[in-house]
Each structure stands twice: as C-alpha cells, then as structure tokens.
C-alpha cells in the first residue's frame, strides 16, 4: 500500500483522575426503635456479616492483585482488564493432568505444554501441572512447593503461586504479530465511509449520500473520505470518474476523496480537481487517468500521481491523529495482536509515535519502517534509529520501506510481459527505474538499516532482487507482498536470504480476477507461500490493514484454506491453488516467531519459552485443532503483554 502522507502532528498526552466524594444527608430520619430481641437478632446478623466480609477480604488479600479488575471504555464500547500477580501460572483446563492446550511455538511451531509459569514480564518455566505444583506450589490447594525454588519471590514461594486454569475448550498461543499494517491509516479508514463490497459506482454514490445526510456534512472545507471501492467486482470493470460523483445533487460541490481497496488509486470529485489545477502532463511512476477524447483528468490518480491529491489535502489535527492511533490499538488488542510492523511511516509520524511511547501510552509493540518523503532517495542520515531498549520494545525503528511498483487490481503492478486483460500492451508501473534500486539499497545497507521493499509484479520483484544481490551484506532484507515472481526469482528469494512478507488475504481477495489479469502461466508462481518454505526460505505473515481486515484470524483462515470466508474459491471447496496452502503450524509460526525474526526480536518475543516476554493470547477455542470453518468464529478472551492483561477479562 502507498500510504497517504500524513502531516506532522504531535499529541500531548495527559492523564485525568476521577475523585470520589461521599456525602450524608442529615434530613434522613433515624431508624425506628426495636425490641431487645430484635436488637439481639440484628447484632447476630451484623456479626455474621462482618465475619463473611473478613473471610472474603482475607481470601482476596491472599490472591494478591489477581482479583483487581478495572473497567475501561471508549466510543467503541467497554472491556475489562485486570492485573495479575507478579508471579503466576496458567494451566490447561481442569479435568485431569496431561491436557496440553498451550502452544509455545518452537522452531517447528507444534509444541504444546500443560502449564506456563510467568514471573514479571517473562516466561519463567513451562511443563506439567505436577511439575508446577512441585516446583512453585499452589496457593489455592496444596500450598507451598514441595521442592525448593529460588526463582520465585520468597513471599510467593512460602504460600505457593496462584495457578489459573483455562476455561474448557480454550487454548493459548503466543501473541500474534502483524508483519505488515498501517496504523494511522487504519484509524483514518475506520473514521471514513466504508466502501468495501460496493457493487458499482452508483452503490458508492448511494453510500456517500447516506453518510452525508446522516452526518450533516455541508459544503465546507472538510473532505468527505472513504476507502474500499474496487472496480474489478463491478459489472463494468472500468475506473469511475468525478462526474459520477457530481451527478448526485447531495454530493455536487463537495470535496470527496475515495481510496481504492488496494490503496494505490484515488477517486476524487470535481471540487478537489479544481483545488489541484493546473495538473502536470504526466507523473513519473504514476498515472493521471485522462479522458481519451478530451484529454481532461477523469478524477482517478494512480500510485505516484496520488501525491498531487495529498498535497491539496487539509492538515489533520493532533486530536485526529491520536484518535486514529487509539482506534487501531484497541482493534489490534481485541483481535489478539501484540505487535504490528508499520509499513511506511514518514518522519513526522515517527516523532508522534515517540512522544506517545515516552508517555508509556503504547499498549502493544510497534516496529516502524521509515518512509522517506521521496522514497527514491536516501534519507537515513536525517533519522536516528530507535533501539528495542529505549521504550522496552514498545517502539522500535531500524528498517526502511521502499516501493517498487503499484498494485495488481489497479493495473499498477509492474509486469515483465503485458497484462492479459488489456489490449494496449500495458505492463504496469515501476515507481522508480530498475537501475535505481541497487545503489539505493546499498546506501541503506551501508548505513545499517534493514531494507523492506514493496514489490508485487514479477518485473518489480526482479528489480528488487537484483538490488539485494548487489548488496550481499543486507541483513534480513524483506520483500513486502512478493506476489508474482518468475520461477528463477522464487529460487533467488531463498538463495539471497530474503524474507517473503506475505499477506494471505491478498490471495483470497485477488483470486476472482488475478488469473484473468496475468494469465494461466504466470499465476502458477504467484502467491507461492508453500513453495518458498519448501525451498528452505523464510516468510512473515501480516494483513496490510486497512487494505485488508485487521483481524488476524482472517489471514490465518486464508493461509490454511485458500478459500473466501463463505468457503468458496475459483477452484472449488479445495481452495485456490491448494498446493500453496500453509499448515496451521506454519501459519501460527508465520504470525509469531517468524514475524519476530523479521523484526529482529525472535530472542525476546514470538514464542512462549523461558526467558522471553510473556506475550500471549487466550482463545475461546483451539484455532490449531477446530474445523477450518470454526477458525473465523474464535474469540479472544484475553490478550497479555509483558505478563499482564491489556485486553479481555480474567478467568
């Protein structure tokens, strides 16, 4: 995705405290007098009540902070978050020892254990319930440990640690990491008109009209924005025009900017075209779509031409930027995400993220990819990296995001041969000349940056791999998307040690038209996830939200099934090119340990082994074992980062 350039915005984060005040009303009359027998009965009831309260207080005190539950809310609704003890254990559901429903994700991704022991922010131990009780005790039943342990604080070791048992049928996995998302853009999209699934340009117009009438928008300076339209699913598979918008009286005269579903094209109204006038004749690495007869711009801007629209866009406020962040953070936590690789962040937004991180207000881990104002130039000398230690892993910057081409759906992916569904010889768009990538990548590698490059078409992937081949010292280079490659380049991905950063739902979103666009030969080495693994390569999995859903289970389901959410595909119930499906172990690993490797944090997070951070998710069912059609029904009961809940309710 070519993310919209967001203007510099900072946020001063403050904390407000609520004060509780008690008051009494002297006008309330005293209770009536009672007889002595009544008084004796009342005293006995008071004593009994006091005893019960004392017993409850002692029990709660013994459990420590694990019983303290706080309720939080925002405009999205309410959720519960509690605090756990400094040291505790989580074990599989009661019902007999030997049940193993905690997936630790070892190198094969298949190891399960019965119990997980946490101390502070880290995993201390794993093993059976008997092992945990013997070594660390059991506060509720057996008391102190039967074998000495110097690793648990003395106060806890004397009484035994609190053991929490999972609800029946539930399971734990390491917390999920989205290897490719756009945090502020997602929050922006959540605040705009949802155009996903629109069946025609008229459907888009109708949705905008409904939104405007509901919101009370008027002819002012505010832009009406939306995202998700896709002409490939319309009966007439052609780009829409500004005239389509102005034909509706409710929309006429309004500044409207609508982002295509892939983020690589903008559809704007006449009001915005007027703001942008005069337009250049052409844009390197982009396209201003023009009427073939009049030569006038139609209102569609593709790839680099989108920058012309961005230059006219009003600056966003600090409050809007912070609101975008909060929306995305909450959505991620409730979906089981503990980390996001933000794929393309301009310097002004890096400054914003640092201010938020400095106030300890980042609830999950963010791995940033720097986006230069001009991505074809090196800007690393002006931006300092952010090491893991500075914000305790909540904000890290050591990578750059470059962009080689556009997207397949908007005919922007750069292909070696022309598109199969066009008769004009069109081959897509290289956003920078091929010869630019070797020296540009070399500059970043020499300066100590990880290089991550958006590449979708086979021509773009070939050019980027040439750049990586010319810089053999590149550390964990990444191809973002890596959708369409030649057979030779698939092998080069493995030979060069390049991480293929895939978004599984891209395949299931594209499968209805992808083969039409590139033909039956090229499609055989497209979206080739399993092929890369079988050749010995590395992958990392993500979503590319807001292009796709931020729900990682949709990616999990797409990866293991190659089916749409209704259970279908162009190749039937077996999945679209099913040989490229991933196993569940491969998929979970791609969203945890492999994603951590792609961000240089595999020794800190990504699996539940002693010494790593206790980042995990409690699911209401085991996504590794349930029927495929049940994966999308799974719910997050609890998301935990650094050993403490950040979303959900304590069991």
Report pLDDT for 217.
54
C-alpha span between 522 and 538 (Å, rounded)? 22
Residue labelled with tokens 């980062």:
641
d(CA 547, CA 554): 13
Q: State CA 218 to chain mean position distance.
A: 34
Range with the largest mean pLDDT of 57-66, 94-103, 181-190, 438-447: 438-447
Q: Which residues pair with residue 79 across a beta bridge?
A: 72
pLDDT on residue 570: 97
Q: Is the pLDDT of residue 522 over 60?
A: yes
pLDDT at residue 146, rounded to an integer: 78
Between strands 616-619 and 171-174, the pairing is: antiparallel
Average pLDDT (329-341) is: 97
Which of the residue ranges 26-40, 473-487, 622-636 would you say has the lowest mean pLDDT? 26-40
**Residue 68: per-residue pLDDT:** 37
Average pLDDT rounded to a whole number, residues 176-190: 95
**Which range, 61-65, 206-210, 537-541, has the best average confidence (pLDDT)?**
537-541
Cα 70–73–75 angle (5° rounding)?
Answer: 175
CA-nearest of 583, 490, 500, 506 to 545 is 506
Q: Which residue has the higher pLDDT, 34 or 268?
A: 268
Mean pLDDT of the chain: 86
Task: For residue 643, count other CB atoms closer than 10 A to its CB.
Answer: 21
Predicted confidence (pLDDT) per residue in 476-489, tens digit: 999 999 999 999 99
| Mean pLDDT calculated for residue range 577-595 | 98
User: Residue 50 — very low, low, confident or very high, per pLDDT cuts 50/70/90?
Assistant: very low
Beta-carbon contacts of residue 644 (< 8 Å; ≥ 6 apart):
83, 84
- What pLDDT sits at residue 314? 87
Q: Which helix (H) or strand (E) holds 248?
A: none
- Cα separation of 507 and 509, whole Å? 5
Using one digit for the tens of pLDDT, what is the confidence trace for 341-369?
A: 999 999 999 999 999 999 988 999 999 99
Query: HSE (CB half, 13 Å, CA atoms) of 136?
Result: 26
Region 239-248: mean pLDDT is 94
CATH of domain 188-312: 3.10.310.70
Helix (H, G, I), strand (E, B) or coil at 299: strand
pLDDT over 70 (residue 407): yes
Query: Residue 261: its pLDDT value, please?
Result: 87
Can you tell me whether residue 439 is helix, strand or coil? helix
The structure's pTM equals 0.83
Which residue from 423, 490, 437, 427 is spatially nearest to 459, judged by alpha carbons? Answer: 427
The least confident of 18-32, 105-119, 242-256 is 18-32
At 214 the pLDDT is 84
pLDDT for 63 beyond 50: no
Give the pLDDT mean for 46-70. 36
Contacts of 412 (CB under 8 A, 6+ apart): 264, 265, 287, 302, 303, 405, 406, 428, 429
Residue 49 has pLDDT above 90, yes or no: no
Does 252 have pLDDT greater than 70?
Answer: yes
pLDDT of residue 148: 64
> Quick one: pLDDT at residue 287?
92
Q: Which CATH number fits domain 67-175+607-651: 3.90.550.10, 3.40.50.150, 2.40.30.10, 2.30.40.10?
A: 2.30.40.10
Residue 149: the pLDDT is 62
Higher confidence at residue 110 or residue 629?
A: 629
Burial (CB count <10 Å: 0-12, 13-18, 19+), residue 620: middle
Per-residue confidence at 627, pLDDT binned at 50, 70, 90?
very high
User: Which of 60-64, 310-314, 385-389 holds the top average pLDDT?
Assistant: 385-389
Asked whether residue 16 carries a pLDDT value surpassing 70, the answer given is no
For the chain, which residues make up each domain, given as ranges? 67-175+607-651, 188-312, 318-606
Check whether 575 has a pLDDT greater than 80.
yes
Q: Tens of pLDDT along 531-571? A: 999 999 999 999 999 999 999 999 999 999 999 999 999 99
Give per-residue pLDDT as tens, 222-237: 799 998 899 988 988 8
Q: What is the pLDDT of residues 425-478, one digit of tens each?
A: 999 999 999 999 999 999 999 999 999 999 999 999 999 999 999 999 999 999
Model confidence at 377, pLDDT cuts 50, 70, 90, reads: very high
7: pLDDT confidence band, cut at 50, 70 and 90? very low
Pick the CATH number of 318-606 from 3.40.50.300, 1.10.150.300, 3.40.50.720, 3.20.20.140: 3.20.20.140
């Amino acid at each position: 995705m070519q993310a919209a350039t967001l203007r510099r915005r900072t946020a001063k984060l403050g904390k407000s405290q609520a004060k509780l005040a008690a008051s009494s009303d002297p006008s309330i009359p005293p209770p009536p007098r009672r007889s002595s027998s009544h008084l004796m009965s009342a005293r006995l009831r008071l004593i009994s009540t006091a005893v019960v309260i004392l017993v409850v207080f002692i029990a709660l005190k013994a459990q420590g902070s694990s019983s303290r539950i706080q309720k939080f809310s925002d405009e999205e609704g309410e959720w519960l978050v509690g605090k756990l003890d400094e040291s505790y254990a989580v074990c599989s559901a009661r019902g007999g020892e030997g049940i193993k429903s905690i997936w630790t994700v070892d190198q094969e991704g298949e190891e399960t254990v019965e119990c997980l022991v946490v101390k502070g922010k880290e995993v201390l131990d794993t093993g059976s319930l008997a092992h945990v009780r013997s070594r660390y005790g059991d506060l509720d039943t057996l008391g102190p440990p039967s074998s000495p342990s110097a690793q648990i604080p003395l106060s806890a070791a004397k009484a035994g640690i609190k053991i929490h048992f999972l609800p029946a049928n539930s399971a734990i996995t390491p917390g999920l990491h989205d290897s490719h998302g756009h945090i502020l853009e997602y929050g922006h999209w959540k605040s705009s008109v949802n155009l996903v699934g629109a069946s025609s340009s008229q459907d888009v117009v109708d949705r905008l009209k409904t939104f405007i009438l509901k919101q009370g928008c008027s002819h002012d300076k505010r832009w009406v924005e939306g995202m998700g339209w896709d002409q490939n699913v319309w009966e007439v598979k052609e780009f829409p025009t500004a005239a389509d918008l102005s034909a509706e009286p409710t929309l006429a005269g309004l500044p409207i900017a609508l982002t295509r579903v892939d983020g690589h094209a903008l559809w704007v109204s006449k009001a915005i075209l007027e703001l942008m006038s005069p337009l250049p004749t052409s844009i390197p690495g982009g396209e201003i779509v023009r009427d073939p007869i009049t030569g006038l711009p139609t209102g569609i801007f593709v790839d680099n031409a989108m920058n012309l629209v961005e230059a006219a866009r009003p600056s966003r406020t600090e409050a809007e930027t912070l609101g975008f962040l909060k929306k995305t953070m909450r959505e991620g936590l409730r979906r089981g995400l503990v980390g996001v690789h933000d794929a393309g962040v301009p310097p002004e937004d890096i400054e914003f993220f640092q201010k938020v991180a400095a106030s300890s207000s980042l609830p999950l881990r963010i791995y940033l990819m720097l986006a230069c104002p001009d991505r074809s130039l090196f800007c690393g000398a002006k931006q300092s990296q952010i090491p893991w230690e500075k914000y305790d892993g909540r904000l890290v910057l050591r990578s750059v995001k470059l962009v080689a081409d556009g997207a397949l759906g908007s005919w922007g992916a750069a292909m070696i041969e022309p598109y199969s569904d066009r008769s004009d010889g069109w081959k897509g768009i290289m956003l920078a000349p091929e010869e630019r990538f070797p020296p540009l990548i070399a500059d970043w590698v020499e300066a100590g940056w990880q290089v991550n490059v958006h590449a979708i078409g086979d021509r773009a992937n070939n050019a980027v791999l040439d750049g990586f081949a010319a810089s053999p010292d590149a550390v964990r280079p990444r191809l973002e998307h890596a959708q369409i490659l030649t057979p030779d380049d698939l092998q080069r991905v493995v030979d060069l040690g390049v991480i293929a950063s895939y978004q599984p739902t891209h395949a299931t979103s594209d499968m209805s038209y992808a083969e039409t666009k590139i033909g039956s030969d090229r499609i055989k080495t497209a979206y080739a996830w399993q092929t890369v693994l079988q050749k010995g390569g590395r992958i990392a999995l993500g979503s590319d939200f807001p292009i796709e859903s931020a729900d990682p289970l949709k990616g999990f389901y797409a990866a293991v099934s190659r089916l749409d959410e209704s259970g279908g595909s162009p190749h039937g119930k077996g999945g679209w090119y099913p040989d490229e499906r991933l196993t569940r172990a491969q998929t979970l690993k791609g969203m945890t340990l492999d994603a951590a490797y792609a961000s240089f944090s595999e020794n800190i997070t990504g699996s539940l082994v002693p010494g790593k951070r206790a980042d995990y998710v409690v699911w209401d069912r085991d996504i590794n074992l349930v029927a495929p059609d049940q994966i999308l029904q799974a719910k997050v009961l609890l998301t935990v980062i650094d050993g403490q809940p950040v979303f959900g309710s304590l069991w």
